[in-house]
Amino acid sequence: MSKSMLALMGLTASLILGGAACAQAPAPDSTPNDYAKSETWLCRPGRQDACAADQTTTVVTADGKATIEPFTPAADPPVDCFYVYPTVSTDPGGNSDMGVDPAERSVVEQQLARFAGQCRIYAPMYRQVTLAALRKVMMGQASPGDEALAYGDVRDAWLSYLAHDNKGRGVVLIGHSQGSRVLLRLIPDQIDGKPVQKQVISALILGMNTPVDAQGRFGTLPLCATADQVGCVVTYVSFRASAPPPAGSRFGRTDDKGLRAGCVNPAALLAGKASTETAPLHAYFSNRAMGSSALEPKPWATGLTVTTPFVSAPGLISGRCVSEGDFTYMSVSVNGDPADPRTDDITGDIMVLGQPLKDWGLHLIDVNEQMGDLVALVGRQSKTYLAKPSSPAP
């Protein structure tokens, strides 16, 4: 893989977690994992594991008033979600081991646990390319990471899931950053044109450039155009409307000739609009900094102390898909009002020496900025899928 594509997968995460070790480490064991074993999974249904993280949210309205929104997972969701996490491993060497560390726990708390309101959750551990490997690439050195090993683990986990757990149920694929890149390889390799494709409710390919043709298709999977469409792709990368991707940005465009990066706005689809139309985004912001190179969240409202893990601020941000020049991306506007007591801005930029890294946009919060919309969209799509005469009973 080119240095630019490695950077696309992981510079953000490397900057987020900062001092990932670059020390030499033994080559990873390449023995295939047995995904029939529970310990090879970060999250599985019926366990008190990393995905049992507290999702309680403080909802802060424009007048500064706050209410608590509890969260309860669905008791018996009728569909599944299969998730591949982004570059987070702080292990030394080129590929991570299979141990569950705080970094893996933290990312599923932010990006996955809330989907338990709609689906059974499956998230395999995999020997991903580490932050240490990506830091070496960014310093001009050869990457010690083995992408084939990382992909092979996810492929094996997917096949094991189909063989032992799926039992004909509909499934939503979810990924972010490196996880999305892995899914962009898994879909043509193991899903597109194969019998299991009819069970794919949708694929959420977030924080990565999904190359689509002039008809808006990735392989045979179209971009989602309505909230009730199934068998389609939701994908975007996000930038502030006030700071669109600069000329050197790798997010928002693809190197494939004749193809563009896809963009789907879940919030717009839920509102019955086209993705290019502006819609308010139902965000679930973290109430803590998203890593060492992100700013701490500002007070959410004058005189308000928030103690829950997440914050929702209705109407504070909105978004639409924009296509300008070579770039296609989610343009996020912050609708702050200095006259009200609620905060007028959000955090989510990667900060380097006190300045935002503009070519990475809002990559840190690609998922958080539309978490409510993504979960609601999965719910709508699941109902459509289950209503199909050919859908198996859950």
101-152 confidence digits (pLDDT tens)? 999 999 999 999 999 999 999 999 999 999 888 778 767 888 889 999 999 9
- Reply yes or no on whether the pLDDT at 278 is more than 80: yes
- The percent of residues in the chain predicted with pLDDT above 90, rounded, is 78
Q: Which uninterrupted H or E stretch holds 209? A: none
**Position 210 in a domain:** yes
pLDDT at res. 25: 60
Q: Can you say whether residue 176 is alpha, beta or left, with left for phi > 0 and alpha for psi between -120 and 50 degrees?
A: beta
Q: Which amino acid is at 34?
A: D
Q: How far apart are alpha carbons 391 and 380 in whole angstroms?
A: 15
Distance CA 236, CA 206 (A): 6
Distance CA 363, CA 350 (A): 8
Task: Kindly state the tokens that stand for 330.
Answer: 């989610």
Please tell me what DSSP assigns to residue 373: H
How confident is the model over 191-201, as a mean pLDDT?
98
| Structural domain contains residue 393 | no
pLDDT for position 31 = 94
Q: Work out the average pLDDT over 155-162.
A: 98
Domain presence at residue 392: no
Tell whether the torsion through CA atoms of 209, 215, 221 and 223 is positive or negative. positive
Mean pLDDT, the chain, rounded, equals 90
pLDDT of amino acid 255: 80
Nearest CA among 33, 346, 254 for reference residue 160: 33
Average pLDDT over residues 170-179: 98
What six digits make up the tokens of 284?
């679930």
Q: Which SS3 state, helix, strand or coil, does residue 383 take?
A: helix
Instruction: Average the pLDDT over 26-43 and give the result.
Output: 91
The per-residue pLDDT for range 75-90, each reduced to its tens digit, is: 999 999 999 999 999 9
pLDDT at 294 over 90: no
Is 273 inside a domain boundary? yes
Residue 394 within a domain:
no
pLDDT value, residue 354: 85
Q: Is residue 140 one of the residues assigned to a domain?
A: yes
More reliable by pLDDT, 357 or 235 = 235
Task: Give the pLDDT confidence score for residue 270 in this predicted structure.
Answer: 98
Report residue 393's pLDDT band, with 50, 70 and 90 as the boundaries.
very low
Residue 371 lies in a domain: yes
Please list, residue by residue across 68-103, b when 16 or more beta carbons sit within 10 angstroms of its beta carbon and e when fewer do: eeebebeeebbbbbbbbbbbbbbbbbbbbbbebeeb
Closest by alpha carbon to 245, among 179, 144, 318, 323? 323
Predicted pLDDT at 13: 40
Better-scored residue on pLDDT, 127 or 4:
127
**Top mean-pLDDT range of 138-152, 256-270, 369-383:** 369-383
Task: Say how far residue 116 (Cα) sits from the centre of its chain.
Answer: 15
Q: Which residue has the tokens 């007048």?
A: 63
**Residue bearing the bigger pLDDT, 223 or 250:** 223
> Lowest mean pLDDT: which of 13-27, 38-52, 208-222, 245-259?
13-27
| Structural domain includes residue 92 | yes
pLDDT at 139: 77
3-state secondary structure of 177: coil
Report whether pLDDT(12) > 50.
no
Q: Which of 24-33, 82-91, 292-301 has the highest mean pLDDT?
A: 82-91
Question: What domain count does the chain have?
Answer: 1
Question: Are the C-beta atoms of 359 and 246 separated by less than 8 Å?
Answer: yes
Distance CA 119, CA 382 (A): 9
Element (DSSP H or E) covering residue 63: none
Quick one: pLDDT band at residue 298, thresholds 50, 70, 90? confident
Instruction: Indicate whether 10 pLDDT > 50.
Output: no
Q: Which residues contact 65 (CB under 8 A, 6 or more apart)?
A: none
Please report which confidence band the pLDDT of residue 24 belongs to, taking 50, 70 and 90 as the band edges.
Answer: low
Q: Given this model, what pLDDT does residue 138 score?
A: 67
Task: With a cut of 70, say whether residue 3 has pLDDT above it.
Answer: no
Rounded to 10°, the helix 3-17/178-186 angle is 140
* Distance from chain centroid for Cα 299: 26
The H or E element that residue 7 is part of is helix 3-17
Residues 6+ apart with CB under 8 A from 212: 218, 223, 233, 259, 260, 261, 262
Helix and strand element counts for the chain (H, E): 7, 20
CA dihedral 210, 216, 174, 79 (to 10 degrees): -170
| Enclosing domain of residue 274 | 3-24+33-387
With a pLDDT cut of 70, the percent of the chain lying above it is: 90
Task: Report the C-alpha gap between 102 and 89 in whole angstroms.
Answer: 9
What is the band of 8 on the pLDDT scale with cuts at 50, 70, 90? very low
